Amino acid sequence: MNEPYEVPERVRAGSPNSITSANDWRREYQRSADDPDGFWLEQTRKLVRWQDAPTAGLSGDYHGVKAGPFSWFGDGRLNVTVTCLDQHLAARADKTALLWEGDEPGDVRRLSYRELHAEVGRCANVLRSLGVRRGERVIIYMGMVPEAAVAMLACARIGAVHSVVFGGFSAEALRDRVRDCGAGVVITQDEGLRGGRSIPLKATTDEALDGEHGVEKVLVLRRTGKDVGWVQGRDVWWHDAMADAGPECAPEIVDAEHPLFILYTSGSTGRPKGLLHTCGGYLTYAAYTHRTVFDLREDDVYACVADVGWITGHSYIVYGPLANGATSFMFESTPVYPDAGRYWDMVQRHRFTIFYTAPTAIRALAAQGDDFVTRYDRSSVRVLGTVGEPINPAAWEWYHRVVGEGRCTIVDTWWQTETGGICISPIAPATAPKPGSATLPMPGIFPQLIDPDTGREVRGPGQGHLCLTQPWPGQARTVFGDHDRFVATYFSTYEGRYFTGDGCRRDADGYYWITGRVDDVINVSGHRMGTAEFESALVADEAVGEAAVVGFPHDIKGTGVWAYVVLQAGETWSEAMQQRLQRQVRTSIGAHARVDVLQPVPGLPKTRSGKVMRRILRKVAEGQPEALGDTSTLADPSVVEAIVAGAAVLKRC
């Protein structure tokens, strides 16, 4: 397993990019270490169309972050849409910018750079007419339609700040985000469409906006034509407003550190945090990593099948690819609709050259057999990517051998909402991959492994908590409205370093192997969730006294959700109760959240000081009750026996 695969010659040949060999990587990495400011100023001048090009690189550092955010390119001024759209009008006006396929196979739309530029201009004018001003927040609660990207870029065009909320989130989750960011406008659609089913986006928006909030206007795209509720004076049809708006909208020029977007992400405690990304640094990093990792070429048909509700969609469907003038694919449906051949059918029809998905999809499709793959022509593909969670070597091998027929290279890209872009990953033509390893850091990324017991750095091969020691341009600057939380979450565990929350191993070749979260965040089918969010949903039910939720290994989802529930006195466990609790989780988080195992327990294992010993609950869920370790500090050790016995019964059925 430690033998790297060679990068096929057809992947290496003819690259226009700066890193095409292991030596190139070494040189560029060293340069980024010796002179980070010089390195990033050079990259940004190449990749970004600035109004006023910056002369400054990084200001501030992790030690000083408590006093305020660090910054990049502080004296530069720009509008990110000039890089993503206007600059391409000279040489790529008729090139397809967005290639979209709807829920039904073959339902295809193409927007050229010229058309996308005009749509974004119109939408920007619409937002202005709805009263949106520079710096104000707009929530985008949509499915995977081209208009979602148009709306994001339209916000950027006028210096407004978008916050995309994944279309699977519930009304409660949407309401929390609307309130937290203080949005004045919500953009949504009548319904979403996914896997032949409709998603009531407008109805959920109406429910979310029932109560206190600052939303004055709701812009509604018609996708399915379904009748929806209408609030006079508040709701506006997208097509009516767009028809009245002109396509020209001068870009609002802002400072490099002006906010571009807020994206909520789950942590180990409390409510999701609104990570704030800013214009100049984020765009530079998204563009640089997209071009470098995937080895982007002018004629590529690049397909990332993530959702724009997650950071992957922001950086690698919208901002990175459009900054680079690529043809970027947007996909409304699922990998199994109408059957498990959907991705490969689209590879054949659209001739994708780069294909980027999540390990959970790869595992689910591998389980359906090779025929769904081999019946389609995949010869166009050169680079295959994965993101979102560790990929197990068996799934990696299947992706490589069956999907890629051994002709492609695989980039296993490690990064986070907080990092803005890919941090540890093979560079397609340059890095010999090993199945299951994210391999090597990108230029500008300096990983450190810390032994959690001693707090000391692990040098050479070894394992520890993954930290990054220096800011890079794409890093989130703060948690919107709560800078102290930003500092406490990321910079307080290990002084002077950014703590990622992931565990990691480094092998003798210096390759990194992410082992998964070391906090109470779980990656379920590529969705990042906090166990605390499940717990607060469960205890919201009056029958529940206490709940503790942990992850456990799951063949397809990567991590499954195991909930231990203590009922109030007098309540009894039943099928109906379980359904009610599942409904409660759905209501408070969203349709993508589901508990896999609900276990009633007489009590939670607590120390005498009342702290839940989650380590014990994790071991039971992992099916290793024999490895519980020391339980002598428990207030009531008999609880553990009952939990182990109960889990054994659940496993049997």
Residues that bind ligand 7RM (CB under 6 A): 265, 310-312, 387-390, 412-417, 438, 500-502, 514, 517, 523, 528
Q: Select 71 or 360, whichever has its Cβ closest to ligand 7RM.
A: 360
Q: Select 157 or 517, whichever has its Cβ closest to ligand 7RM.
A: 517
Task: Kindly state the tokens that stand for 538.
Answer: 């469960």
Helices 638-652 & 614-621 angle (0-180, nearest 10)? 20
CB of 306 to ligand 7RM, least distance (A): 8
Query: Do 424 and 445 contact (CB within 8 A), yes or no?
Result: yes
CB of 615 to ligand 7RM, least distance (A): 19
| C-alpha pair distances (Å), 577 with each of 9, 10, 540, 570, 593 | 58, 57, 13, 13, 17
Q: Select 50 or 511, whichever has its Cβ closest to ligand 7RM.
A: 511
CB of 39 to ligand 7RM, least distance (A): 23
Query: Do 328 and 98 contact (CB within 8 A), yes or no?
Result: yes
Cα–chain-centroid distance for residue 119? 26
CB of 271 to ligand 7RM, least distance (A): 16
CB of 192 to ligand 7RM, least distance (A): 20
Q: Select 416 or 584, whichever has its Cβ closest to ligand 7RM.
A: 416
Rounded-to-integer distance, Cα 501 and Cα 522, Å: 11
Structure-derived torsion over alpha carbons of residues 135, 138, 143, 145, reported in degrees to the nearest 10: -60
CA atoms within 13 A on the CB side of 75: 6
Q: Select 279 or 311, whichever has its Cβ closest to ligand 7RM.
A: 311
Q: Select 189 or 315, whichever has its Cβ closest to ligand 7RM.
A: 315
Q: Select 192 or 267, whichever has its Cβ closest to ligand 7RM.
A: 267
Query: Do 477 and 257 contact (CB within 8 A), yes or no?
Result: yes
| Cβ-proximal residues to 267 (8 Å cutoff; 6+ apart), any chain | 273, 489, 519, 521, 530, 532
CB of 409 to ligand 7RM, least distance (A): 15
Q: Select 264 or 329, whichever has its Cβ closest to ligand 7RM.
A: 264
| C-alpha pair distances (Å), 450 with each of 22, 456, 471 | 27, 5, 18
Query: Do 195 and 295 contact (CB within 8 A), yes or no?
Result: no
Rounded-to-integer distance, Cα 588 and Cα 591, Å: 9
Helices 171-181 & 575-588 angle (0-180, nearest 10)? 30
| C-alpha pair distances (Å), 357 with each of 77, 115, 360 | 34, 27, 9
Q: What are phi and psi of 323, to 5 degrees?
A: -60, -35
Query: Do 194 and 143 contact (CB within 8 A), yes or no?
Result: yes
CB of 466 to ligand 7RM, least distance (A): 9
Q: Select 416 or 431, whichever has its Cβ closest to ligand 7RM.
A: 416
CB of 263 to ligand 7RM, least distance (A): 9
CB of 429 to ligand 7RM, least distance (A): 19
Helix H or strand E encompassing 583:
helix 575-588
Query: Do 491 and 60 contact (CB within 8 A), yes or no?
Result: no
Q: Select 413 or 588, whichever has its Cβ closest to ligand 7RM.
A: 413
CB of 267 to ligand 7RM, least distance (A): 10
Rounded-to-integer distance, Cα 478 and Cα 418, Å: 9
Query: Do 267 and 530 contact (CB within 8 A), yes or no?
Result: yes
Q: What are phi and psi of 24, to 5 degrees?
A: -60, -45
Rounded-to-integer distance, Cα 24 and Cα 174, Å: 45
Q: What spatial distance separates the first Cα and last Cα of the chain, rounded to whole Å? A: 35
Number of neighbours of residue 38 by Cβ within 10 angstroms: 12
Residues in a beta bridge with 302? 328, 354
Q: Which of 624, 146, 331, 128 is nearest to 138 (CA)?
A: 128
CB of 310 to ligand 7RM, least distance (A): 6
In three state form, how does the secondary structure of 20-56 look? CCHHHHHHHHHHHHHCHHHHHHHHHHHHCCCCECCCC
